[in-house]
Structure 1
Amino acid sequence: MSGNTKLPPIEGVPSLPTSERAAILDQLFEPSTQLHTLSVPLLHEKTFESYNDLIAAIGVQLTDLSESASTSDTEWLQSILGSHPRLGAKKVDSEQSQAEQAQLQGNGEEAEQLRKLNEEYERVFSGLKYVVFVQGRGRGVIMEDMRKRIAESDLKSEQIAAIRAMCEIAADRAGKLV
């Protein structure tokens, strides 16, 4: 399962081999060994009415990690959140992310501003990358949101915002891939 391959019918997901359940996660989110470890078993153990329900269940798993006092859970979550490509990056492995970020390719000055904001964000939120649902939002709106989130400098709120954005992105992808 790669590229823009359609997602299989939701009712058949629990019976799929582990590798195919992992590939579904890769299409909806981003490739992440930690997300596979966390969520592939869920896709086998539970049936879902829709891909949106599946995405919501993964959102709960990620939120539970964010609320844990365990350092290893925090590191695990940061690794999953960090699997998203840097916003505006020139080299993006995921075809979905390439298409989603295409609108962010601006002139040299805008690209440089975005690069600097990414660096500042990653200094403030060590181990995280800025994740946002970009569909239909211009560069200016997104960069303003980055500045606001950097200024707030609240790691827990940032983790929740990133989880929400990942789930919004996954839901949008699911809508295009079913």
Structure 2
Amino acid sequence: MASLPSISDVPSLSTTQRAGILDALFEPCTALHTLSLDPLRTEKFPSYNDLIASVGAQLTELSESPSISDTRWLDKILGAHPRLGEKKVDSAQSQAEQAQLNTGGNEEAEKLQKLNEEYERTFPGLKYVVFVNGRSRPVIMHNMQQRIDRGNIRLERAEGIQAMCDIAADRAIKLHQA
């Protein structure tokens, strides 16, 4: 998606077009489509930030639910983000956001790969999600290690939701300017 349509047009768009908005702001994810496509058709949002906040509220509701199926659904959505430093990344937005993390030496790249693996062992079904926002690979890796050491899945899901919304808000600005 080269640019976002006017927020006022969102409810009248086709299902495919609304899914494209979710894919551009978040990541391509069937579970997110199932959760959020209908509100994009039935609600009017004053801004893309309001749309993102609505999706964030849906994700938070899943995280606070006692239902195991809700937790699994949320984990599918959080797990749709690519690994940090991954060479093959499907979404153009993630490719651009991660470009700075794919520079530097092989030693750092290997350490990042090992951290991703450790993170995914610590939090099965999740991928580390963070709003990179210009931070260096060492700073990001330090944050990842702290989150692994903390070992709190509930806090991890909450941080993942917040990061997804921060990333989406940044993408909305960039895609609106496109």
Partner of 2:11: 14
Q: Render the CA deviation track for 1:44-70: whole Å, top value 9, x for unaligned.
A: 111011101100000000000000011
Distance in 1 separating the partners of 2:48 and 2:64: 24
- The answer to whether 1:93 aligns with 2:90 is yes
Q: Render the CA deviation track for 1:114-165: whole Å, top value 9, x for unaligned.
A: 0000000000000000000012111111001001100110000000000000
Partner of 2:40: 43
Partner of 1:163: 161
RMSD of aligned residue pairs (Cα, Å): 0.6
Distance in 2 separating the partners of 1:149 and 1:8: 36
Structure 1 length normalisation: TM-score?
A: 0.97
Distance in 2 separating the partners of 1:82 and 1:61: 16
Q: Give the number of equivalent residue pairs.
A: 175
Distance in 2 separating the partners of 1:18 and 1:139: 37
Partner of 1:24: 21
For residue 51 of structure 1, what is the amino acid of its counterpart? Y
SS state of the match for residue 49, structure 1? coil
Distance in 2 separating the partners of 1:58 and 1:46: 12
Distance in 2 separating the partners of 1:143 and 1:158: 15
1:124 aligned to 122, 125, 138, which one?
122
- The answer to whether 1:54 aligns with 2:51 is yes
- Spell out structure 1 runs of 4+ moving beyond 6 A: none
For residue 115 of structure 1, what is the amino acid of its counterpart? Q
Percent sequence identity is 65
User: Post-superposition shift, 1:167?
Assistant: 0.4
List alignment gaps of at least 5 residues for structure 1.
none
Partner of 1:152: 150
Partner of 1:115: 113
